């Protein structure tokens, strides 16, 4: 594919002796933050359904992958073609119902054979939690851990059974607040969040996505309050709490 070859050529040029001083000093470690940032920018454009920006952000993310492949290639480990080859082989292997005559009657059967293929590839190790990245955002990591535990039967039978656990943890948080136990407060607050993630998982809701959308909604509503203050020639700091509450409720109706 000419476009991919062009990107690889550009990356190689940037890393050459006559290339860019910044690109030449980068390492896998120094690029981690950029890789994560580009990933979140892709997610942001998906949430906003902005396909023009999504096209650009996917390109930025792809370039990060090519960058890491170039670094590995320089050390003789692998190159971008190896990356493409290994994922192609993996997808063909994990989809025998598409690329061979294997047939499955349900999503559960597809999921089961996916896990079996991962075992064959050596992906499933001693613990059921092996392979979950330690750097995942905490809400997403909690949901992944709970999902793994569920696969071996350690789970609630129904979301209605999981709901009381939230209230139980809230009562324990309230008790620690009343006792002024700062360590207990932090622990119980974590337990509440973990219990909420569990409920979200049972409802088939991605807790990370749900919280991100709520944060974005909060920002949007608060922007209306800031706009009102500006339009009336006042500072946001001059508004009373009562005025902000009234504006907040009006914004919700919009």
Interval 125-163: pLDDT, tens: 678 898 888 888 999 999 999 999 998 899 999 999 999
For the cut 60, the answer to whether the pLDDT of residue 8 exceeds it is yes
Domain 138-205 indexed as CATH 1.10.10.10: no
pLDDT given for residue 78 in this prediction: 97
pLDDT tens, residue by residue, 166-180: 999 999 999 999 999
Contact 247, 217 (CB under 8 A): no
DSSP single-letter state for residue 235: -
pLDDT tens, residue by residue, 217-237: 999 999 999 998 899 999 999
CATH superfamily, domain 2-78, is MazG-like (1.10.287.1080)
What percent of the chain has pLDDT above 90? 73
What DSSP line would sit under 162-203, residue for residue? HHHHHHHHHHHHHHHHHHT-HHHHHHHHHHHHHHHHHHHHHT
The per-residue pLDDT of the chain, averaged, comes to 92
Asked if 2-78 and 138-205 have one fold, the answer is yes
Contact 69, 14 (CB under 8 A): no
Please state the rounded mean pLDDT for residues 206-218. 93
Give the start-to-end residue ranges of the domains of the chain: 2-78, 138-205, 209-253
Please state the rounded mean pLDDT for residues 95-115. 81
């Amino acid at each position: 594919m000419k476009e991919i070859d062009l990107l690889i050529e550009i990356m190689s040029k940037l890393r050459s002796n006559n290339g860019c001083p910044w690109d030449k000093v980068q390492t896998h470690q120094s690029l981690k933050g950029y890789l994560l940032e580009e990933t979140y920018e892709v997610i942001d454009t998906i949430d906003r359904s902005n396909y023009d920006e999504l096209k650009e952000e996917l390109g930025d993310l792809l370039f990060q992958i090519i960058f890491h492949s170039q670094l590995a290639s320089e050390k003789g480990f692998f190159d971008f073609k190896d990356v493409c080859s290994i994922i192609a082989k993996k997808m063909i292997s994990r989809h025998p119902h598409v690329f061979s005559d294997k047939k499955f009657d349900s999503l559960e059967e597809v999921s089961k054979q996916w896990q079996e293929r991962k075992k064959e590839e050596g992906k499933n190790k001693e613990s059921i939690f092996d392979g979950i990245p330690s750097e995942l955002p905490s809400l997403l990591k909690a949901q992944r851990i709970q999902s793994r535990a569920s696969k071996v039967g350690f789970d609630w039978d129904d979301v209605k059974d999981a709901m009381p656990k939230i209230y139980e943890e809230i009562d324990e948080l309230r008790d620690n607040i009343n006792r002024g136990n700062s360590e207990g407060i932090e622990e119980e607050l974590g337990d509440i969040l973990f219990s909420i993630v569990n409920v979200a998982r049972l409802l088939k809701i991605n807790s990370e996505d749900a919280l991100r959308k709520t944060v974005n909604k909060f920002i949007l509503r608060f922007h209306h309050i800031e706009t009102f203050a500006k339009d009336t020639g006042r500072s946001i700091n001059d508004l009373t709490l009562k005025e902000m509450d009234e504006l907040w409720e009006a914004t919700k109706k919009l």
